[in-house]
Structure 1
Amino acid sequence: MKAIIICVLVALGSISNAKPQYSYNKKSELLMTLDGRISGMKNRIGKDIVIGGLVYVHESANGKCLETIVQHKSVESLEALLYAIDLINSNPNILPNLTLGYDIRDTCGSENVGLDEAIDIIYSNGQIEIESCSSEFDNDTQTPVSAVIGALISPVTISVAGLFRLFKMPQVSFSSTSSILNNRDFYPYFFRTIPPDDHQVQAMIDLILHFKWDHVSTLYSSNRYGQPAINAFHKLANEKGICLDISETLDEKSDYDSVASKLYNSTANVVVLFASLTDVQRILDAVKKVYENSNNKRRFLWLASDSWSEIDDYHEITIGKWGTAPSSPFVPGFNEYYSELNPSSNRRNPWFEEFYQLYNPNCSNNSTTGNCSTSITQNASYVQDSFDALAIDAVYTIANAFDAFFKENCKFPLVWYPQNRSCIGNNSNDTTLTGEKLKDYIQRTNFTSFTQTIVNFDSEGNIEGKYKILNYQLNKSADCNEKCIALKEVGTWDGSLSSNRLQLSSDIEQQFVLIVVVSLIVAPPEANRTIQYNEVNHNSHPELIVTCSSPHVAFIVLQMIYFSGLLIASNALAVMTIRFPINFNEAKYVAFATFSLVLTWFFFILAFIVSQNTPYQGAALSTAIQVSSVAVLLSLFGPRVFIMIVWPHRNAERHSSVVSKIMPLGTQNRTSIMPSDDNKIASNKKNNDTEE
């Protein structure tokens, strides 16, 4: 009997852990325009539920699609949508015995094209008639679209959201962030799995305040993505006392060379760029041109919005860039799925081969020598995009809304009529899921997605605002690519917190925490108990002595090596800055701190050896840690605190003399320090507070 139970459990476990059935090897039905362009793909015939999609695959100009494929990862996000559909179709725990289909269109990033495709989706549902033509919707085979995912960029999303409101079509976007979409009077059927821009703007302001960058320039797209966001930024910046230098709009008619020249003639070194990807590429091309043609190799500190925070092909001029990106988890299963795709295996997505060639230019239709069998994930530059998890969450949002409707209203075993979206109800009457009902179920969803993200929406259709803070840094590893640039996640921003929303960490902190955690796991502290008997009478009045176990000597040595490395690095930097003006010169204080640490730990080593196997060894270690910490604080800050309290007049006198030396006449209210090292970027800082 036990053997039978074990076999059943193993079988159930194997079923739950079974690999999803992917359908990328099955061709989609293609949608073609009159000029032969592939405008979309669909798989609606015989499906129980169909989800629409508005994606951004090709570029556009003057409202018309071009053959040029976009350079960012929108096709990867499309694959994430298809991957989520495959997962749900393979999962017996959500929408069992029902199959999802899709109808996905390319908007080319154009509002006009987006509206055309949205109208065609509604027309294919049989919801409208155009002039004297009646809809050719086939109720027997083609299942109507119940909800739409997209669009990818805010201007297109805003255009189609008004149309979907008229026809009561729920819409879920995973990348449109404009705060205009918060208006439930205009866009009641709109939801998103990405935070709106008002959260992102607050994260940027908090980052600027953290680093005391009180003088910035702003560049922004003059569309419904950039304009509302930069208006909110300017308002918050004014409230927080952040000064604005130049503020320029960007669009198709802008003179980008002129904007770049104005930027180089400005006094601010921090530039906030809140723009769509096309405008970002144009302005950075212009800035790069000015940089290459100028004798003054001036660099700016760029603060990027989510549209380009993880995309950067301009390393020469954007080293050190900071950016905000929606907080989303890494999805291992998607990487596994994505690694199986190449031009020959992926027959479902008609645009994949074009996108694949961005990573593997040697592979093409006419190529006989290029290797087209490798996956994109094998490319050294590949990193899973933040929007992939959000796209998966969008599909699961719609699926969970359907699942909730079925459980509340339908009789089981489920009898579902896809063409009119109805089921046999609990009271034996037909129950129809209208667009308005589906919207209400989406609004009420509260679930943990496949990505382990908790998805629920507020009254404006938004999720909780969480961002990761990114920084582009030089990669010092020997095996880095020729550009040697690495994108690092250096912090988080959590809008649900009332204070301390911004949390930044460094590699040094993470390394030290790792050392401590490993040491505690491998050799956790313990209480050692020994009994000591009376010397005269061994049988009476014994003493119980409790002592703390000392850390393993290997971890003490490891920590000392780690601290020694930090000491050497800090002293090397102190020597490099020894010729800096006195108020930037830390060499003397660092030297005192180093001497104190070395002296403290020298005596600790002697005490540690002498107190071996005695109760005093733990006390020696804890005392050394406390004394060294206090010694460093006193060495670095003691003299300054003493002067501020005892001789405040000397503090003011020293400051004024330094300011007169390092600042040109007429600029005493603001200083701009640009180090000669190209890898460092400085920000203008006001000294008003210290002058007062």
Structure 2
Amino acid sequence: MIFAIEEINNSSELLPGITLGYQIHDSCASVPGTIKVAFQLTNGLDVVFHPSDNCSRSGMVLAIIGDSGSTLSMSISRLVGSFDIPQVSYYSTCECLSDKQQYPSFFRTIPSDRFQADALAKLVKHFGWTWIGAVRSDSDYGNNGMASFLDAARKEGICVEYSESFYRAHPRSRVRRVADVIRRSTAVVIVAFLATGEMKLLLEELEKEPSPPRQWIGSETWVTDPQMLRFSFCAGAIGFGIQQSVIPGLREFLLDLPPSKVAASQLLTEFWEDSFNCRLAESAASDRSVCDGSEDLQKLQSPYTDTSQLRVTNMVYKAVYALAHAIHNAVCQETNFTTQCEKLTKLQSKQILTHLKKVHFSQNGYDVSFDANGDPVATYELVNWQKSETGNIEMVTVGHYDASLPVGQEFRLSSNITWMEGRTRVPVSVCSNSCPPGTRKVLQEGKPSCCYDCLPCPEGEISNQTDSNDCFPCPSEFWPNSERNTCLPKPVEFLSYDDILGIILAVFSVGGACLAIITAAVFFNHRASPIVRANNSELSFLLLFSLTLCFLCSLTFIGAPSDWSCMLRHTAFGITFVLCISCVLGKTIVVLMAFKATLPGSNVMKWFGPPQQRMTVVSFTFIQVLICTIWLVLSPPFPMKNLNTYKEKIILECALGSVIGFWAVLGYIGLLAVFCFVLAVLARKLPDNFNEAKLITFSMLIFCAVWITFIPAYVSSPGKLTVAVEIFAMLASSFGLILCIFAPKCFIILFQPEKNTKKNLMNKNESL
């Protein structure tokens, strides 16, 4: 401070011709002592002040620099603020001092703890630490600073396992309790918002019984204090410090201590004697030898002579210059490239306060200005405690923080950070490990939000981010992969020719059609034989033709559904089966009419000859064609994606369109089948060598049984099995008809030709 004032007094640019006076008091970290001195300054009670013509007014001070402690600065500011006396602190960082309603005349050259708290929270978040411990000084500095940090940490998603406080005046048991909490904790990272005095006590206590390795994160008060570097178990500590600087000429000023100046100051005398372990002649007697004059400050290695890392010192330097610029702006004016100052102006402290709010200058490479709260732009160095090659711990700058930069760009970090125990990898401090994609976080009951379990996403849902709080359902046509971290298109399923089931059904379908064609060929080659002629060959050939269509109709149900295939498969099925049943029904009626014709005086056959048989088949089939036409016109079947039967796949199937139309087609087939079955049962005992009524009865019994069991199977079968059941019913009923009606005849034609004679037929009739 003295160096800065003398430098200003010797300046020809700043306050030319005006000399600044000063007083320096030691508050001794005592609130009562601080208030006493503040009263003395405001009342102008200076016993050593000498008024003269060179002074503008009495000894009342116009501005105050200090204090270093936030609590002491608060005490001063509450007093001097009422008199509009500006106060510039170089080391009071409590955020509370930014409140202009309580502290209207307070300024500072060191950033507020609000900025440091935000920076610490972002630093912790940057390295992925979500589970930390917190220790603070039980003072305005520690309590307010930690409150700001905890608020910023909460916004960053950081949880605090414990938050302990103590003060240097507390009993030693309080410090031991805090140390025990640190030893028992699971958090690896500790944020210490402590003044140097409290931090020293805590580390001394931990030194007695070391805790598991801890990564210390420090506030600027202790993390840049060279005296703290002796605690080697804190190597790897990291924290924010005030930017260091070099003040030109300061080292030479500090080393320029002639004996006369030393002897004139009690403080310098004590410093000299302690540094060189001797006593000055004028000092009180002691066991030290008298200083012989060979003592050389140039050779002294002490914090006093080390000006390589000036941090707080630069804050004092800037505070003095800020007040000097405010006074300059109040009493000096620029005229014709020269500066004119009113030396005898009755300057008021309120004028200095007004101009202090507006100062903006650059000194020693640093810009100095104050915002509306009296705070400077917040810039910090990131300091890391690293072991040197000699084994000593040194403070190394590993990054910078500038709060004025855009969000996300405040940090500039280097990669040469050393962590606890000399590690090069960032330590891990979390309550629970991160939940991988495919899982979601579930909070553990009674614990902070950083303590959670990882549960797999429910069926049909995914999470594609680490530490996801929720899982999200996939779109309707997508399904999660096995890891449940991404949605994949659902596989589309339908009965295709590539499926084994589809191949088997296609083989049986083609085989059945071939069987019907072969049977027709056999009948055609033996169309003149009695057994073919006796069983209404015209209806037989028509029946074989319809059975061939029934077998081939099954193929339309295999393959990917389309608009045309959906309409074709149902209508073709309905029409071909009605044609088939109509032929069987015609054959059954012919058998009944033939028996009636053998009765005396009966001429019933002339009413049911071949034209009537053809008309019967055409009429029954036309009704089904009409039903199918109405169905297709009003609400035809159409292809659709079934997303409900299976959650994990899409069933491509034909929607019925009109359910009434579908069941009308089936109902009509069933009605004809039942009617045919009843007639066949009535004719089953009629005298006929090749009683076709019996064969029709068996075939229709199979047909009805198949389609009766088809209904519940069709309704309950999922996916492509629905189509398979429908094809199976068609094939089973078709095979039942062809085997029951035509197999016995073909067997006689091919393997028992001796029975295929009119005589054999007549003999058998007679025996009956």
Q: Please, which of 165, 172, 182 is the counterpart of residue 98 of structure 2?
A: 182
Q: Which residue of 1 aligns with 2:376?
A: 463
Q: Please, which of 435, 446, 449 is the counterpart of residue 349 of structure 2?
A: 435
Q: Please, which of 323, 327, 334 is the counterpart of residue 243 of structure 2?
A: 327
How much is the aligned-residue C-alpha RMSD, in angstroms?
Answer: 3.7
Q: In the alignment, does 2:221 pair up with 1:307?
A: yes
CA distance in 1, matches of 2:122, 2:299: 35
Partner amino acid, structure 2, of 1:485: I
CA distance in 2, matches of 1:108, 1:153: 10
Q: Which residue of 2 aligns with 1:373?
A: 295
CA distance in 1, matches of 2:48, 2:252: 40
Give how far 1:253 is off.
Answer: 2.3
Give how far 1:225 is off.
Answer: 0.6
Q: Which residue of 2 aligns with 1:474?
A: 387
String of CA shifts for 1:12-40, please: whole Å, max 9, x gaps: xxxxxxxxxxxxxxxxxxxxxxxxxxxxx
Q: Which residue of 2 aligns with 1:281?
A: 200
Q: Which residue of 2 aligns with 1:394?
A: 319
* Mapping for residues 520-539 of structure 1, pairs under 5 Å: none
String of CA shifts for 1:453-506, please: whole Å, max 9, x gaps: 111111001110000000010001xxx4xx511110110000001222111114
Cα contact 1:343–1:352 (8 A) shared by 2: no
Q: Which residue of 1 aligns with 2:143?
A: 227
* Mapping for residues 500-539 of structure 1, pairs under 5 Å: 500-506=409-415
Structure 1 pair 317–371 and aligned structure 2 pair: CA distance change class (3 A): farther
CA distance in 1, matches of 2:49, 2:257: 33
Structure 1 pair 497–202 and aligned structure 2 pair: CA distance change class (3 A): same
CA distance in 2, matches of 1:220, 1:231: 10
String of CA shifts for 1:629-650, please: whole Å, max 9, x gaps: xxxxxxxxxxxxxxxxxxxx9x
Q: Which residue of 2 aligns with 1:87?
A: 7
Kindly name which structure, 1 or 2, has the bigger radius of gyration based on alpha carbons. 2
Q: Which residue of 2 aligns with 1:108?
A: 28
Q: Please, which of 233, 238, 253 is the counterpart of residue 170 of structure 2?
A: 253
Q: What secondary structure does 1:337 align onto?
A: helix
Give how far 1:434 is off.
Answer: 1.5
Give how far 1:452 is off.
Answer: 2.1
Give how far 1:112 is off.
Answer: 1.4
Cα contact 1:124–1:136 (8 A) shared by 2: no
Number of equivalences:
417
CA distance in 2, matches of 1:341, 1:233: 44
Give how far 1:124 is off.
Answer: 2.2
CA distance in 2, matches of 1:317, 1:362: 35
Structure 1 pair 136–372 and aligned structure 2 pair: CA distance change class (3 A): closer
Provide the TM-score with structure 2 as the length reference.
Answer: 0.50
Cα contact 1:339–1:377 (8 A) shared by 2: no
CA distance in 1, matches of 2:100, 2:370: 13
* Mapping for residues 261-660 of structure 1, pairs under 5 Å: 261-291=180-210, 298-311=212-225, 312-341=228-257, 345-346=261-262, 350-355=266-271, 360-361=276-277, 366-368=288-290, 373-375=295-297, 378-379=300-301, 382=306, 383-408=308-333, 414-417=341-344, 422=345, 432-449=346-363, 451-476=364-389, 480=390, 484-498=392-406, 499-506=408-415
Q: Which residue of 1 aligns with 2:124?
A: 208
Gaps of at least 5 residues in structure 2 are 429-435, 440-450, 455-465, 470-482, 486-768
More helix by share: 2
Give how far 1:652 is off.
Answer: 9.2
Cα contact 1:344–1:373 (8 A) shared by 2: no
Structure 1 pair 361–466 and aligned structure 2 pair: CA distance change class (3 A): farther
CA distance in 1, matches of 2:163, 2:366: 37
Cα contact 2:153–2:159 (8 A) shared by 1: yes
CA distance in 1, matches of 2:21, 2:384: 39
CA distance in 1, matches of 2:21, 2:297: 25
Give how far 1:221 is off.
Answer: 1.2
Q: Please, which of 63, 66, 78 is the counterpart of residue 147 of structure 1?
A: 63
Over the matched positions of the two proteins, sequence identity in percent amounts to 26
Gaps of at least 5 residues in structure 1 are 1-80, 127-134, 292-296, 423-431, 509-572, 578-582, 584-648, 654-666, 671-686
CA distance in 2, matches of 1:359, 1:378: 8
Cα contact 1:343–1:353 (8 A) shared by 2: no
Q: What secondary structure does 2:140 align onto?
A: coil
Give how far 1:206 is off.
Answer: 1.7
Provide the TM-score with structure 1 as the length reference.
Answer: 0.55
CA distance in 2, matches of 1:340, 1:506: 41
Give how far 1:378 is off.
Answer: 4.2
Structure 1 pair 209–100 and aligned structure 2 pair: CA distance change class (3 A): same
Structure 1 pair 669–273 and aligned structure 2 pair: CA distance change class (3 A): farther
Cα contact 1:469–1:491 (8 A) shared by 2: yes
Cα contact 1:343–1:372 (8 A) shared by 2: no
Give how far 1:317 is off.
Answer: 2.4
Partner amino acid, structure 1, of 2:186: T
Cα contact 2:239–2:384 (8 A) shared by 1: yes
CA distance in 1, matches of 2:324, 2:240: 29
Which structure exhibits the higher relative contact order, with contacts defined as CA atoms closer than 8 Å and separated by 6 or more residues?
1
Give how far 1:260 is off.
Answer: 0.4
Structure 1 pair 370–504 and aligned structure 2 pair: CA distance change class (3 A): farther
Structure 1 pair 187–377 and aligned structure 2 pair: CA distance change class (3 A): farther
Cα contact 1:208–1:214 (8 A) shared by 2: yes
Cα contact 1:343–1:373 (8 A) shared by 2: no
CA distance in 1, matches of 2:39, 2:126: 47
CA distance in 2, matches of 1:466, 1:372: 43
Cα contact 1:155–1:225 (8 A) shared by 2: yes
Structure 1 pair 490–176 and aligned structure 2 pair: CA distance change class (3 A): same
CA distance in 2, matches of 1:409, 1:167: 30
Structure 1 pair 215–390 and aligned structure 2 pair: CA distance change class (3 A): same
String of CA shifts for 1:593-632, please: whole Å, max 9, x gaps: xxxxxxxxxxxxxxxxxxxxxxxxxxxxxxxxxxxxxxxx
Structure 1 pair 343–216 and aligned structure 2 pair: CA distance change class (3 A): farther
Structure 1 pair 359–465 and aligned structure 2 pair: CA distance change class (3 A): farther
CA distance in 2, matches of 1:372, 1:86: 28
String of CA shifts for 1:404-453, please: whole Å, max 9, x gaps: 11224999864523xxxx2xxxxxxxxx421111101000111112x221
CA distance in 1, matches of 2:13, 2:188: 54
CA distance in 2, matches of 1:349, 1:283: 35
Give how far 1:90 is off.
Answer: 1.3
CA distance in 2, matches of 1:174, 1:372: 36
